[in-house]
Structure 1
Amino acid sequence: MPELPDVEVIRRRIAEHGLEREIASVDLRDPERLRGARPADLDAALTGYRFTAATRHGKVLALKVSCGWNLIVHFGMTGALVLHADAGDEPDHTHLACTFADGGRLAYADLRRLGWLELTDDVPRYLKTQDIGPDALSFTREGLSAYLADKGGTIKSALMDQSRVAGIGNVYSDEILFGAGVRPDRKTADLDETEVERVFDALHAVLTDAVELDADPGRMTDGAWLLPHRDGDGVCPRCGGALTSLKVSGRTTHLCPRCQT
């Protein structure tokens, strides 16, 4: 599932290569991927206009359109936005294809069809109505400490609650807690001040570093990352011990029982 780093990488690519290009045509191939509007509404909101800005909040991407609308993209489990040169490069499972006047294309693809698109003229209001909390990277040390003191439950479930901390999912919650040296099944009420500070530091370091690595597990080659190992050799990149998995709030969770306490 695309999480904050994955969506930020997509946002940066769109911001660099997809803005200020006139949209010549819109091909919505799966109307079920559009919520709260008709296909004709989407066509009217995009055709003849340009994307002028790309912003991200948590896992949600917003593309500002020159007519005033915003195209909201939820990526679900397998969604992606792909810029490509021509029809021959179109990704499989494309549900929305925007063709620019210069001949380039922007495709929304989604293998499992769990993502969706919406239109809004007010992004902050939209996020509020969708009960999407503050972006994970907007938290201060004090803000995260106060949230965890109030939240209860496990630290992993607290980090994954999109109504309170937007952007962190199953993969990066594990990475953050590995970086902090904290077991994912620890109760937030049992964390001391030093452990909360380590979680805060790891949250910012993991998310920002992952973005700089294009959220590509193949580039996460030093001992700071579980991703290349959790479904691979199963070896902790720090201590060399065996990684283990367990269920936390119904989610398969990976950790090192030596490095995380």
Structure 2
Amino acid sequence: MPELPDVEGFRQVLLSCGSRRSVTDIDVRDAGILRGVTEERLRTELKGARLGTAWRHGKWLFVPTDGAPTLVFHFGMTGSLRCCAREEPIEAHDRLVLTLDGARNLCYRDQRKLQGVQLADDTAVDRILDGLGPDARAVSREEFLELLSGRRGAVKGALMDQSVIAGLGNLLCDEILWRSHVAPRIPVRNLSEKSLRRIHAAMGRVLTTSVRAGRVPPRRSWLTGRRDDSEPQCPRCGDSLRSGRVAGRRTVWCPRCQT
């Protein structure tokens, strides 16, 4: 389930595989991942275009091109980008394959096809960004306090709201709240400034480590590394972890540590 660290990893894939390379061929193997663009237009716009330096905001990845609109990726729940040698076999879930000069293929893989790929001019890019909050890696403590001030609903729901802060997903939010000793169902308005400061600090630490790993790492010292055990225990206090739905998502927390 790609979150900010995963998408940052995909950005690195693009930088190493496709930056400043031209698209020599386009294979749309499943048009179900195209959003607002036809196969014909995608080929017309992209073939021969040179990919620029990819940039990310939250869970969105933007690739400017020379002489064409920006190529935009959103990875939904199962999407990924892979850089492959041209002779490597195409896999079943490779929905879009861009052949690049230099004998490489850039493959967009996605099993469930909940999001996908689009072309966006500057106005369309601005429209996407207007619907998003600031990127989670760039939010200062003061800005974080301001963004959450006065919000209603559970704190996990607020953190997962992409219009508030862009990039946090289910695993990140559970990990951040566990490290902050904050229960996911607590209303934001019931949290003290001290608690919000702890959440912001934990967010920074978790993102730094996760971006370095290219994912939320399933370390045994992390909540993430225990959540899928048959009888999960808190790596901090050893108490049994609980699981339930918060903000519509499966949520794991420690009832002893997170109060």
TM-score (normalizing by structure 1) = 0.93
Structure 1 counterpart of 2:117: 117
1:228 aligns with 2:225: yes
The aligned length equals 257
Cα shift readout 1:191-236 (whole Å, capped 9, x = no counterpart): 1111010000011111121011221635x34x2x211110025121
What fraction of aligned residue pairs are identical, expressed as a percent?
Answer: 40
Give the whole-Å Cα distance in 2 for the aligned partners of 1:175 and 1:209.
Answer: 12
Counterpart amino acid of residue 125 in structure 1: D
- The structural deviation recorded for 1:41 is 1.5
- The structural deviation recorded for 1:125 is 1.0
- The structural deviation recorded for 1:170 is 1.2
Give the whole-Å Cα distance in 1 for the aligned partners of 2:30 and 2:90.
Answer: 16
1:182 aligns with 2:179: no
Equivalent position to 2:238, from 230, 237, 240: 240
Structure 1 counterpart of 2:37: 37
Give the whole-Å Cα distance in 2 for the aligned partners of 1:107 and 1:186.
Answer: 41
Cα shift readout 1:120-177 (whole Å, capped 9, x = no counterpart): 1226513245x22221222111111122122111100000111111111111110110
Give the whole-Å Cα distance in 2 for the aligned partners of 1:34 and 1:229.
Answer: 36
Structure 1 counterpart of 2:256: 258
Structure 2 counterpart of 1:57: 57
Cα shift readout 1:81-134 (whole Å, capped 9, x = no counterpart): 1111134343331110011122210011110111211111226513245x2222
- The structural deviation recorded for 1:17 is 2.9
Give the whole-Å Cα distance in 1 for the aligned partners of 2:138 and 2:90.
Answer: 35
TM-score (normalizing by structure 2) = 0.93
Report SS of the residue matched to 1:151: coil
Where do 1:50-129 residues align within 5 Å? 50-122=50-122, 124-128=125-129
Structure 2 counterpart of 1:191: 191
RMSD: 1.6
Counterpart amino acid of residue 108 in structure 2: Y
Give the whole-Å Cα distance in 1 for the aligned partners of 2:119 and 2:65.
Answer: 10
Structure 1 counterpart of 2:207: 207
Q: Is the Cα–Cα contact under 8 Å of residues 20 and 51 in structure 2 kept in the other structure?
A: yes
1:22 aligns with 2:19: no
Counterpart amino acid of residue 143 in structure 1: E
Cα shift readout 1:2-49 (whole Å, capped 9, x = no counterpart): 111110111122112321222110011222321222212211222112
Q: Is the Cα–Cα contact under 8 Å of residues 177 and 199 in structure 2 kept in the other structure?
A: yes
Counterpart amino acid of residue 157 in structure 1: G
Q: Is the Cα–Cα contact under 8 Å of residues 73 and 117 in structure 2 kept in the other structure?
A: yes
Which consecutive unaligned segments of at least 5 residues does structure 2 have? Answer: none
Give the whole-Å Cα distance in 2 for the aligned partners of 1:44 and 1:238.
Answer: 55
Where do 1:158-169 residues align within 5 Å? 158-169=158-169
Report SS of the residue matched to 1:61: strand
Give the whole-Å Cα distance in 2 for the aligned partners of 1:113 and 1:53.
Answer: 25
